[in-house]
A and B are shown apart, each in its own frame.
Chain A
Amino acid sequence: MASNNSEMIRIRRELYTAVANMTWRGRLIEEIDDYPDNLIAELTTRYRCCEHKEKAVLKERLRVILGLTPYEVNKHTTLGTMAKIALQKATRPNSCTIEMLAVACDRCPFEKYVITDACRNCIAHHCCVVCPKDAITIVHNRAYIDRNRCVECGLCERNCPFRAIIQVTRPCEQACAAKAITRDQKNAAIIDCETCVNCAACIPSCPFGSIADYTQIAQVVTMLKESPQAKHALIAPSFVGQFGPKATPGGLRAALLELGFTAVHEVAKSADEVASLEAQEIQERLASGADFVTSSCCPSFVATIKSQYPDLVDRISHTPSPMAHQAAQLKALDPQAIIVFIGPCIAKKNEAAGLRTVDAVLTFEELGCIFVAKEINIAAITEEGELDQANSLGRGFAKVGGLSRAVMAKLDENSGITMRVANGIEEAQTALKDAKAGRLGASFLEGMACEGGCIAGPGTLIKRVVAEKLLERYCQR
């Protein structure tokens, strides 16, 4: 959660809530076309050059919230038609999860080194002297970098005594550890879907809010309203404290039942079973000659291995993630049941798209907006009790290191199995590089793309430090 982006978060939640509200009232198709106009009339601040641009950006945002890709629409498709397509669409999530909204991208400068007004056109001209490619000349009393010659070495920046040369990187490119963000011919940022690991670090990084993830808000609300089948809510271990200091686990369960879910499950219960399966798999695979095994529950970590370390793919554990495990169990009991996973994670949307068992994925943020749209106040529900049954080992999965701790607890004391924990995508990259060179130094690698683990995920509602304290207390219950 990036609270310093409060304005972007406010707009996003307003749109989520509006879509959920129109869907609850059964008026989505009829009302969504007028929504951007009504919203702009209400807004006192303007973000873009003109009303037309503002409306174009809002239309794109709403398309993504409806879960439609640019390939499913054309520029003449109205929002009402999009809503119709969205509601008829099978409830499967998209295989691509994060989109760069072309119309919203401000095409930030991408030249790495820029000469600023602080240039004094001095006599020494350190910049010109140190440049190994003779790319800097003086034009109109100021240093000028010839882009065709510049190799972006940075010597000029370091040698200017006035610090008149600055280094500029697009925030989205800087945030992307997978290096999946590039530029199109018009210099707008684009995401390479094949390289993207869906970690969502780019979304809060963009100060224009031009990166968004597809949602299934309208589809889930429609299922809750209309589907006769059993509807299961699977709540990720990181839910603790997400809905505020007065929302109890029992209150969350009651609120979900009020929304229309038939049953509420704590995924931490499955996480504990997954730890046992994982412990068994590690022992078997090490016995049959494997040098190490990696965790499989963080989809961004798994995607990082698949796209950047293809040699290590066979080391990924075959044990399903807690979400996949629990969904498979529930679908086996009732193949008609609707399974909705609710968690802190955007990459889970992508994982679910590859499974036949999970019908929809919501983030805590999206669920919160659905509650607001239905005027359900969890803080006002004084329901005691648990969300569901789970133990502290499973609940500990929410925090980085929790998976390793649970697996260790399932292993024999003298198993000789050692753990390495990669906290965040950068540590994961380092660990995988070590692993590739045969220097991992452990028999099991736990990889978490979010620094801090799932409780620091992009779909969370409270700060990591607060969530950590609350989780610790919850695990001790």
Chain B
Amino acid sequence: MKTIALEFCVGTACHMKGSPDLVASLETLSPWQRKSVELRYTHCLGNCGAGPNVKVNGVLMSRVTPESLVRTISKYLGQG
């Protein structure tokens, strides 16, 4: 099974810029998509000015919105 590793920055700057909304947006994934997500929290990804930041399979994404995150995940995992 294909999996996707998500590392959410939950440092104070990213938290204030909306990382809770990003984590909550995972609930909109389909059940099988959710099973394929490996979730981790980190306290800084070193790009505080452009938060919220997420590392997707090791690649840094900045100014992430719930929509862009779900789009990225769906693109990687496929719609199923």
Contact = CB atoms under 8 A, between A and B. Distances in A.
Interface SS majority for chain A: helix
B20 A463 contact: yes
A177 interface: no
Contacts of B24: 3, 463
A119 to B, nearest CB: 35
Given A377-B44, A379-B43, A379-B44, A3 B21 contact: yes
Interface in A3-49: 3, 6, 9-10, 13, 17
A244 B19 contact: yes
A314 B56 CA distance: 59
A243 B17 CA distance: 12
Across the A-B interface, the 9 shortest Cβ-Cβ residue pairs: A379-B43, A244-B10, A244-B15, A380-B43, A377-B11, A379-B11, A368-B16, A371-B12, A377-B12
B26 interface: no
Interface of B: 10-13, 15-21, 24, 41-44, 48, 65-66
A377 B43 contact: yes
Interface string A415-454: 0000000000000000000000000000000000000000
Nearest to A369: B16
A227 B52 CA distance: 34
A293 interface: no
B46 to A, nearest CB: 11
Contacts of B41: 245-246
A371 B18 CA distance: 15
Interface residues of A, number: 26
Contacts of A3: 20-21, 24
B20 A244 contact: yes
Interface string A217-231: 000000000000000
Interface in A86-136: none
Central interface residue in B15, B20, B24, B42, by most chain A CB within 10 Å: B15
Central interface residue in A6, A17, A372, by most chain B CB within 10 Å: A372
A354 to B, nearest CB: 30
B43 A243 contact: no
A462 interface: yes
A376 interface: yes
Nearest to A376: B12
Given A245-B41, A463-B24, A377 B18 contact: no
